[in-house]
Each structure stands twice: as structure tokens, then as C-alpha cells.
């Protein structure tokens, strides 16, 4: 079946502008994650959605970052008033959820955001 898809694949924006990044998870996956990866670095957790539960926003770096997940499927990550330090690859992942331990996450190809 189809994997996780993200759009756009690349986004160049001017400092101060708002951007929206989209994620389509694997059908049937109840858990959805957003991560951020700076060049040559590991993955930094941003936000987590599980079913209809309130999202875990503990990883969001500032109040300029927000995300929503509509109908338990598609998710949008919004960054307001972008700053140059927001430049990174934003990765979305989904999983079946509900497993305390092994919860294999399937990642999308990411959106490379460049703030000029």
C-alpha cells in the first residue's frame, strides 16, 4: 500500500512568512508524529497525535509552531513568522500505535524547509 507522503518536498520562504507542511499518514495508522532534522543531526520530536486524544505538544520549540490533524488522518504543521533557525527537514511518521514498546514508525520523505 501507499506509504507516508508529505508535501511540499521543498519549501523556500522568506524570514517572517508563515508556512504549512502537510502529511498524509498510512491508512489505518492511528499515531502520527512530527520530527525535525537539522543537517547532519538526529531527529528532534515535535508533536504526537493518537486517535482522538489531545496531542502531545511537548516537543514544539516555540508558540510559533502548531499542528492539527483532521479526521484522524491528514496532519498540517504550521510555522508562523519563520526564522532562519527553522531551516531543517521536517519529517512525519505514522504507526499503528497502542503498543507500549515496539511501535514501528514509518517515515515520509520529509519537507526540506529553507528560510532565507
Partner 1 sequence: GQSLEQPSEVTAVEGAIVQINCTYQTSGFYGLSWYQQHDGGAPTFLSYNALDGLEETGRFSSFLSRSDSYGYLLLQELQMKDSASYFCAVRQTGANNLFFGTGTRLTVIP
Chain residues that interact with partner 1, rule: CB under 8 A: 4, 31, 33, 41-45, 48, 50, 56, 59, 91, 93, 100-110
Minimum CB–partner distance for residue 96 and partner 1 (Å): 12
**Distance of alpha carbon 25 from alpha carbon 67, whole angstroms:** 14
Minimum CB–partner distance for residue 102 and partner 1 (Å): 5
Phi, then psi, of 70 in degrees rounded to 5:
-95, 135
Minimum CB–partner distance for residue 36 and partner 1 (Å): 11
Measured from the CB atom, the residue of 25 and 110 that comes closer to partner 1 is: 110
* Extended beta strands in 38-74, E state: 43-50, 65-69
Say if residues 15 and 116 touch (Cβ distance below 8 Å).
Answer: yes
Amino acid at each position: 500500500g501507499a506509504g507516508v507522503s508529505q508535501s511540499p518536498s521543498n519549501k523556500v520562504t522568506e524570514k517572517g512568512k508563515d508556512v504549512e507542511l502537510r502529511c498524509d499518514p498510512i491508512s489505518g495508522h492511528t499515531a502520527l508524529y512530527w520530527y525535525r532534522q537539522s543537517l547532519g543531526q538526529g531527529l528532534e520530536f515535535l508533536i504526537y497525535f493518537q486517535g482522538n486524544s489531545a496531542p502531545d505538544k511537548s516537543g514544539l520549540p516555540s508558540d510559533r509552531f502548531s499542528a492539527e490533524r483532521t479526521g484522524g488522518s491528514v496532519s498540517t504543521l504550521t510555522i508562523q513568522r519563520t526564522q532562519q533557525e527553522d531551516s531543517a527537514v521536517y519529517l512525519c511518521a505514522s504507526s499503528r500505535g497502542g503498543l507500549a514498546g515496539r511501535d514501528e514508525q514509518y517515515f515520509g520523505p520529509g519537507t526540506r524547509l529553507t528560510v532565507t
